[in-house]
Amino acid sequence: MTGVPNSKQTAANPAPERRRALLATAAEVFAAQGYDATTVRRIADEAGLLAGSLYYHFDSKESMLDEILSGFLDELWAGYDTVLAAGLAPRETLEALVTESFREIDRHRFAVAIYQKESHHLADRPRFAYLAESRRRFERAWLGTLERGVAQRAFRADLDARLTYRFLRDTVWVAASWYRPGGAHAPEEIARQYLSMVLDGIAVRE
């Protein structure tokens, strides 16, 4: 897990449904306009209450962001950890990670979009230190898999591993910016096509 002590509820949990709905609204607006450009009033409007009333549910605008991002990362790592613990071969591990990633994009589309845009400049702040930690774990998992694959002659050895890693990472996650759930392609189908392209290339083999 991310190691984040996300015990936000000072008391019990007043009304988890409402919280979740409000967070979903906030995430959508954050994703569409950017965190800084989003006003708390805008979120409240969208949710049908007044700006001040949000503070009954959340400590601050930042804590909403925090909850959105850490909630997403917690689920992501639950999925990844299962994959990584399965002891698959490199190519199968990669396939499983990619598929799992597209599933997370399907379920946390807005959180992923926010993560893409904001995580870089948030990582400095102590509160969001877990973003940097997550990024490191992420790199270890993917880059490690790639390197094992090269060693086992599953992946090409003539490519710079870090470059490859970045290309993989970015293409997968950037998909959140255009992915529409319920659209033409299910996440598993997108994963399949993506893997086919990435593993075998788009050129016709001679």
Q: Which of 13, 163, 180, 182 binds its own copies (CB under 8 A)?
A: 163
DSSP state at residue 62: H
In the chain, what's the furthest Cα-to-Cα distance? 66
The answer to whether 132 and 50 have CB atoms below 8 angstroms apart is no
3 binds, among DNA, its own copies, none (CB under 5 to 8 A by kind): none
Q: Which residues in 79-138 contact its own copies (CB under 8 A)? A: 91, 117-118, 120-121
Cα 135 to Cα 44: distance, rounded to the nearest angstrom: 31
Give the closest residue to 117 by CA, choosing from 61, 35, 178, 181.
35
Choose one: 40-48, 98-106, 131-139, 169-177; the region binding its own copies (CB under 8 A): 169-177
46-50-51 Cα angle (round to 5)? 90
59 contacts its own copies (rule: CB under 8 A): no
Q: In the complex, what is the shortest distance from the CB of residue 169 to DNA, in angstroms, rounded to a whole number?
A: 30
Using the rule CB under 8 A, is 182 a contact of its own copies? no
Does position 39 interact with its own copies (CB under 8 A)? The reply is no
- Residues 51/41, Cβ–Cβ less than 8 Å: yes
Binding residues (CB under 8 A) for its own copies: these are: 32-34, 36-37, 91, 117-118, 120-121, 153-156, 158-160, 163-164, 166-167, 170-171, 174-175, 177-178, 185, 190, 193-194, 196-205
